[in-house]
Amino acid sequence: MNLMKQHAKRAMTTRGQQSCLVIDHLVEALANDPSSSLRRALVLNYIDETPGVTQTEIMRALKISKSAMNREIEWLFNYGCVTRQEGERDGREIKLETCGYSKRALGEALDYFPLQHKGLHYLLNQYISILKQDRPTLRDARIISTLYDKVEASKTEIIEDLYDGPATTDNRAYNKLLEDGVIKND
């Protein structure tokens, strides 16, 4: 049944539409916060792929510094995206798992990738590289997905397709992409 649902979702939408939907599901999975970084999405995806994984293991796998990792895990825990459980043999070892709304929304995003987590992992890394920023966000990713879907759009259309955040934040993200040469005014 799940496989049928995945095929149907892929068949009913164009790749451009899918690119927008996947980012929307990731925003939902990360507490509806489009300011969440793509790195945070990578961490959530890795935890979902490897239930019971520890922070140290994620740090090694994703090459994230300890301080950045601490911040991401705290955020994910505080917003109810992951659970933390002490290891049976070593109480200092905390095992992580995705849960609740976050797991469900991430599952919706994963439906578009035949290789599931590995496909999403690849995509997020490619977007990080395309966006040319230290800390690209899901908002930035949605702007380029919108343009991938529409091919061209006015600034107003791009901003309207974003989430109901502060206009100044949306404008800042848009201007940064223009300044960095990720998008261009033709």
Partner 1 sequence: MIKLADPAAVHNAWAVSTSDNLEPKGITATFGAEVSGNFDQAGTVLNGVPFEQTLGM
Among the listed residues 79, 101, 148, 163, the single contact to partner 1 using CB under 8 A: 148
Q: How far from 137 is each of 28, 57, 62, CA to CA, in Å?
A: 13, 24, 17
List 53, 109, 123, 138, residue binding partner 1 (CB under 8 A): 123
Out of 126, 135, 171, 175, name the contact with partner 1 by CB under 8 A.
126
Tell me which residues in 48-87 interact with partner 1 (CB under 8 A): none
Contact between 177 and 171 (Cβ < 8 Å): no
Which 3 state secondary structure label does DSSP give 86? strand
Pick the stretch among 24-32, 40-48, 52-60, 143-151 that binds partner 1 (CB under 8 A): 143-151
Q: What's the CA gap between 186 and 181, in Å, rounded?
A: 12
Minimum gap (Å) between residue 22 Cβ and partner 1: 9
Q: Which of the ranges 43-51, 66-74, 95-103, 121-129 carries the binding residues for partner 1, by CB under 8 A? A: 121-129
Classify residue 26 as exposed, middle or buried by CB count within 10 Å of its CB (0-12, 13-18, 19+). Answer: buried
Which listed residue (2, 63, 166, 181) binds partner 1 by CB under 8 A? Answer: 181
d(CA 77, CA 97) in angstroms, rounded, equals 10
Cα angle at 86 between 83 and 91, to 5 degrees? 160
Residue ranges binding partner 1 (CB under 8 A): 10, 15, 18-19, 112-115, 118-120, 122-123, 126-127, 130, 144-145, 147-148, 151-155, 158, 178, 181-186
